[in-house]
Structure 1
Amino acid sequence: MSFVAPLLAWFDDHGRHDLPWHQPRTAYHVWVSEIMLQQTQVQTVIPYYQRFMQRFPDVASLAAASQDEVLAHWSGLGYYARGRNLHQAAQQIINQHDGKFPQDFAAILALPGVGRSTAGAILAQAFNQPYAILDGNVKRVLARYFAIAGWPGTTGVQQQLWQQAEQLLSEVPTHRLADYTQAQMDLGATLCTRSKPRCQQCPVQATCQAWQTVQVASLPSTKPKKTRPTKQTCCWLLRNKQGQLWLQPRPGQGIWGGLYSLPETPLADPEELNLAMFESAVESLVEWPSLKHSFSHYHLMMYPVEVMLDVTLGDSIAIQKDQVCEGVPNYAAALDATGSWFNLPDALELGLPAPIRQLIEQLQAREA
């Protein structure tokens, strides 16, 4: 019994046929969904994808939008480099491919944010071309089916998995390449899961080498654990007399790149937070409870401080750095002159990191 035939038969009866990016299954829809699905579960992605498509129904509308607007629609989905890359890739498609999504593997791979597996998924699902994929679900399925030991993140294990994935393509009927690609992902997402796999319902159980050798629970090997360091920062919730909040764009690269955020002051120790450094420019200071946010490589402990400033700007949202920083020299380094004052409802329309959005929502709820 082969791998492909029983998998396709199972997919016909039990696969996910109602995913929004399959209706219709165009290159643009598949591409956006594949980028969103990197590091993110399907059920989390679906509402973001639907809102994204309402605003950016095609590559031209995405390319024409500002990065700020794209990131605002990405806000909360995390891994924001994906949103920046998606926007840049759309502009590249417009400028280099006359607005038509390329059908060549090398051209797709050259788009920002697109790797080998994503390029293969686009070609297989949108253009029915024979390309393998190797996302997280498929790595797990193939590692178990072929009993490939080791962590799939290592070069050697990945090479073995790619070799097996490409060899299996020879068994796939030409007209079913799109279905086969989706079937592999569905099997990993619904039956061949990381914990508590439902092997008794698996269509390829009979030929699965991990099942035959009682290794399902141990394959694939888990990533070696590293202790994540903790960084600490003070986040300044600056308010003016109109109740507006100061927000500033972060640098284009790095954590939360391109999103709007609060000014920050790094702290080696929260006891270093010396609120006495504020003088005449400040009417009141309130320390908020600390907030923890975890990234893949470190934990971030955030210490929010709400600062009511003696600043009145009427209808203007512009502010000069020296207007805020007079009397608060230790704070000056945290301010970015490109920032602006925002009413709270307007602030929540921006592209914001999840913990910053949480803080602003708390402010808004308090004042409702």
Structure 2
Amino acid sequence: MENSLKSHIGNKVSSWYRDHGRHNLPWRKNITPYRIWISEIMLQQTQVNTAIDYFNKFMKRYPDLKSIKSAKEDDIYALWSGLGYYRRASYIFRAKELIHKDFNGQMPDDFNSLLSLPGIGRSTAGAILSIAFKKPYPILDANVKKVIARIFHKKKFNEKEFWHLSESLLDKKGIFSYQQGIMDIGAQLCMPKKPHCALCPIQNDCISNKLNSYVTLEKRKPKKKEVFLQFNLFSEGEKYFLSKSDDLGFWKNLWIPPVSIVEKCNFDIVHQLSHRSLKIAFNEQTNIRPDIEGKWFSREELKTIGIPKPISDRLLLNG
């Protein structure tokens, strides 16, 4: 495909976004580098509809880099509780520390400086630069990969090739509209099984559409490991005992009740992680003080710390 045609595609995407894009998404209003950064970290492993409420809650508490400067790691984990992939909350904490230490409290506006921050890779850096700073950098999130695969009829993902193609499509003069447009086309029109080609602005340029063969990139689903967990819910009156543990291999830096990994147990709930299926049993322990390091929390205090969703559901909804 000639470069002039690729540029033509970029122009079509930008024009389509201005008329049909999802302008109502909260991170597309009052755009700042900080808001784009937080939204991009949230969207790395989370669907848009799920991220909206968490983003709004986060912005209400920490609307800018100045307000988040004094935030403790637990404060950020508390806002992240239930969103999953908690390492992202740690990335935000560590990155905001570096931004205030090394960049005078301002989000850096160059590629290499952004890459030096925890949690920011090439695609996230490209999104921040192109949307917040209107600089022509490519992105390659799941939606963009899907659109590129369809346009060029690519059945297998080759990282170097896809980055080259992503860059070649950029509408450099309309980069702000283009980047959000190609993500929206991937999310709303270029569906995995039944794409809405009749509504797509680049239907006449898409090789897959011309061939009536809608490729989907091969994606292996990891086989989940079963993990059986027994939590001891120590309580005294209205307070619960929690501690932090790195022994599980997940939920690092989150507050949890004392826990044992067992071969099997009669479990109360099942909770899914990306690579694990957790079978969880809860044992009530009243007026017994555990002999491990930890803290006692009231129900109100539980709302201010980072707790995994199955634990917060049990203690706050059923406790």
Same fold (TM over 0.5): yes
**Structure 1 residues 28 and 245 mapped into 2: Cα distance closer, same or farther (>3 Å)?**
same
Q: Are positions 1:324 and 2:319 aligned together?
A: no
For the residue of structure 1 that corresponds to 2:155, the secondary structure is: coil
Q: Are positions 1:270 and 2:265 aligned together?
A: yes
Question: 2:307 pairs with 338, 342, 352, which one?
Answer: 352
- Alignment of structure 1 residues 1-368 onto 2, 5 Å: 2-150=8-156, 152=157, 157-169=158-170, 172-174=171-173, 176-216=174-214, 218-221=215-218, 223-240=219-236, 242-251=237-246, 254-270=249-265, 290-310=268-288, 323-325=289-291, 335=292, 337=293, 339-364=294-319
Output the amino acid matched with 1:340.
Answer: K
Shift of 1:31: 0.6
Output the TM-score relative to the length of structure 2: 0.93
Q: What is the aligned length?
A: 313
For the residue of structure 2 that corresponds to 1:57, the secondary structure is: coil
Output the amino acid matched with 1:231.
Answer: V
**For residues 154-202 of structure 1, what are the alpha-carbon distances to aligned partners after superposition, in whole Å with 9 as ceiling and x for unaligned?**
xxx1221111011122xx142x111111001111111112232211211
Output the TM-score relative to the length of structure 1: 0.81
Shift of 1:225: 3.4
For the residue of structure 2 that corresponds to 1:239, the secondary structure is: strand
Gaps of 5+ in 2: none
Gaps of 5+ in 1: 272-288, 311-322, 326-334
CA root-mean-square deviation: 1.8
For the residue of structure 1 that corresponds to 2:279, the secondary structure is: strand
For the residue of structure 2 that corresponds to 1:324, the secondary structure is: coil
For the residue of structure 2 that corresponds to 1:3, the secondary structure is: helix
Identity %: 36
**Structure 1 residues 205 and 262 mapped into 2: Cα distance closer, same or farther (>3 Å)?**
same
**For residues 42-66 of structure 1, what are the alpha-carbon distances to aligned partners after superposition, in whole Å with 9 as ceiling and x for unaligned?**
1111111111111111113223111
Shift of 1:258: 1.4
Give yes or no for contact 2:15–2:177 (8 Å, CA) kept in 1.
no
